């Protein structure tokens, strides 16, 4: 049995108060809280192991390198990649996508080519592609979506042409909670020989992701959204693809030999990892993934599904409640507006009640424009949230609604 109170005891921050009220943390889509196991691993490494990786013959450097590389294996197993050569450590989803947009752009995008993104992407899966398109004279094309917040795959079929260089799509929308049929999208793109990047920032914390099953060519996620530290993330890429792409940044680690005339590059994955990596963060990320493994992703999914369904049911009872995003496949993210109460007012007043939600455009301005709204209030749930917290949220919204 999943014991949420036992889980909560691993997260010291959850027992603090804000404005004299117990904290109700429902901003997990932005970042998750960290269990002791993760924070203690970082403290322990800085106190007892710290040394730069991959370059020292001395004991500490060997030990830090071993922890760092063991973490790569934990990540590989977690997403079921074939090889650790396919696991590139980055600073997060954003850097992963910038890396790919740059390297893929250099390798294979020419004037008149096209990049396909979806209507519900986070800015970090739009802007890097747009920047690359501007450099290369290429065009950004968009998979449209329905009013319910589901992508229109029949329209995607039309968008995939001999000019398409890559399709980039989020697995779970950070605003609508839509779970996109990325496996189907991958199949459609592969039928035409086009690679696919899946943005896993909002899926990795909530569901089993399996690179062999999805068969996507690239996959990006952030450590801090899956109970790990900030400043570390992953770009997965199929080895054959990564071999074809040029490095993103130059510096230490990514080279084999350097002369003033010419530099040769290191093998995978180091070719894409210039400079000292955040080896303390990679080690702590592995601790976070192990934490999730120990709880069992299927248990986490079941807990979050029950919580989300309960929240949807309770929220819908509120007069004037408008849930934004009614996809059939829905993850632990609920966006809403109530009557004509501005999302910022709602967020600010909920905060005074100790409830942390996110408000605004959620770094998805094109999606807001598509929906014809400026922003939403967003509650996003995680493995440590409870039905009691949902009740506090619902009561809070009711109080605020009556005030207006």
Q: Which residue, 118, 60, 1, is CA-closest to 366?
A: 118
* Strand-pair partners of 234: 89, 221
Cα distance between residue 81 and residue 74, in whole Å: 10
Cα distance between residue 116 and residue 173, in whole Å: 16
- Give Cβ neighbours of residue 72 (< 8 Å, ≥ 6 apart): 84, 87, 89, 269, 282
Token code pair at residue 363: 């770094």
In the complex, the residues that contact ligand 7TS under the rule CB under 6 A are 29-30, 92-94, 122, 124-125, 170, 174, 199, 201-202, 222, 358, 362-363
Q: What are residue 114's phi and psi, to 5 degrees?
A: -130, 150
Nearest residue (CB) to ligand 7TS, 41 versus 357? 357
* Strand-pair partners of 378: 335, 358
Q: What are residue 167's phi and psi, to 5 degrees?
A: -115, 130
Q: Which residue, 265, 259, 216, 276, is CA-closest to 243?
A: 265
Provide, rounded to whole angstroms, the least separation between the CB of residue 30 and ligand 7TS: 3
Provide, rounded to whole angstroms, the least separation between the CB of residue 272 and ligand 7TS: 16
Where would I find the H helices in 109-152? 127-136
Compute, in degrees rounded to 10, the torsion defined by CA atoms 90, 293, 121, 330: 180
Provide, rounded to whole angstroms, the least separation between the CB of residue 20 and ligand 7TS: 27
Cα distance between residue 324 and residue 179, in whole Å: 14
Q: State how far Cα 54 lies from the chain centre.
A: 28
- Give Cβ neighbours of residue 44 (< 8 Å, ≥ 6 apart): none
Nearest residue (CB) to ligand 7TS, 29 versus 277? 29
Question: Under DSSP, is residue 90 helix (H, G, I), strand (E, B) or coil?
Answer: strand
Provide, rounded to whole angstroms, the least separation between the CB of residue 27 and ligand 7TS: 7
Nearest residue (CB) to ligand 7TS, 65 versus 208? 208
For residue 136, what is the enclosing H or E element?
helix 127-136
Provide, rounded to whole angstroms, the least separation between the CB of residue 380 and ligand 7TS: 7
Q: Does 168 qualify as catalytic in the annotation?
A: no
Q: State how far Cα 360 lies from the chain centre.
A: 18
Provide, rounded to whole angstroms, the least separation between the CB of residue 50 and ligand 7TS: 25
Provide, rounded to whole angstroms, the least separation between the CB of residue 362 and ligand 7TS: 5
Cα distance between residue 86 and residue 218, in whole Å: 9
Nearest residue (CB) to ligand 7TS, 29 versus 35? 29
Nearest residue (CB) to ligand 7TS, 266 versus 282? 282
Nearest residue (CB) to ligand 7TS, 92 versus 325? 92
Nearest residue (CB) to ligand 7TS, 54 versus 343? 343
- Active-site residue identified among 133, 169, 216, 363: 363
Cα distance between residue 119 and residue 170, in whole Å: 10
- Give Cβ neighbours of residue 340 (< 8 Å, ≥ 6 apart): none
The catalytic residues are 363
């Amino acid at each position: 049995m999943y014991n949420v109170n036992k889980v909560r005891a691993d997260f010291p921050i959850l027992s603090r108060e804000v404005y004299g009220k117990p904290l109700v943390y429902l901003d997990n889509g932005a970042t998750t809280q960290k269990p002791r196991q993760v924070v203690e691993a970082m403290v322990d490494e800085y106190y007892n192991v710290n040394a730069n990786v991959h370059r020292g013959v001395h004991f500490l450097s060997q030990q830090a390198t071993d922890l760092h590389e063991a973490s790569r294996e934990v990540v590989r197993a977690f997403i079921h990649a074939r090889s650790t050569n396919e696991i590139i450590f980055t600073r997060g989803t954003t850097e992963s996508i910038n890396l790919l947009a740059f390297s893929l752009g250099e390798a294979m995008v020419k004037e008149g080519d096209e990049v396909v993104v979806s209507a519900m992407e986070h800015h970090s899966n739009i802007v890097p592609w747009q920047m690359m398109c501007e450099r290369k004279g290429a065009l950004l094309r968009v998979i449209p979506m329905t009013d319910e917040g589901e992508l229109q795959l029949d329209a995607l079929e039309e968008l995939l042409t001999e000019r398409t260089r890559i399709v980039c799509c989020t697995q779970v929308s950070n605003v609508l909670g839509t779970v996109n049929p990325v496996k189907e999208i991958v199949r459609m793109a592969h039928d035409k020989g086009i690679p696919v990047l899946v943005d896993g920032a909002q899926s990795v914390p909530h569901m089993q992701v399996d690179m062999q099953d999805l068969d996507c060519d690239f996959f990006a996620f952030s450590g801090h959204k899956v109970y790990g530290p900030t400043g570390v993330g992953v770009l997965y890429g199929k080895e054959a693809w990564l071999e074809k792409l040029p490095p993103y940044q130059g510096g230490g680690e990514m080279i084999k030999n350097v002369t003033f005339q010419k530099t040769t590059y290191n093998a995978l994955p180091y070719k894409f990892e210039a400079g000292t990596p955040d080896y303390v963060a990679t080690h702590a990320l592995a601790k976070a993934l192990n934490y999730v493994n120990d709880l069992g992703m299927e248990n986490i999914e079941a807990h979050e599904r029950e919580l989300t369904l309960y929240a949807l049911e309770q929220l819908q009872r509120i007069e004037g409640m408008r849930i934004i995003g009614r996809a059939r496949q829905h993850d632990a993210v609920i966006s809403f507006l109530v009557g004509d109460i501005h999302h910022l007012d709602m967020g600010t007043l909920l905060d005074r009640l100790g409830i942390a939600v996110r408000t605004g455009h959620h770094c998805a301005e094109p999606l807001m424009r598509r929906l014809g709204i400026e922003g939403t209030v967003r509650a996003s749930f995680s493995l440590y949230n409870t039905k009691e917290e949902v009740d506090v949220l619902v009561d809070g919204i009711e109080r605020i609604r009556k005030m207006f």
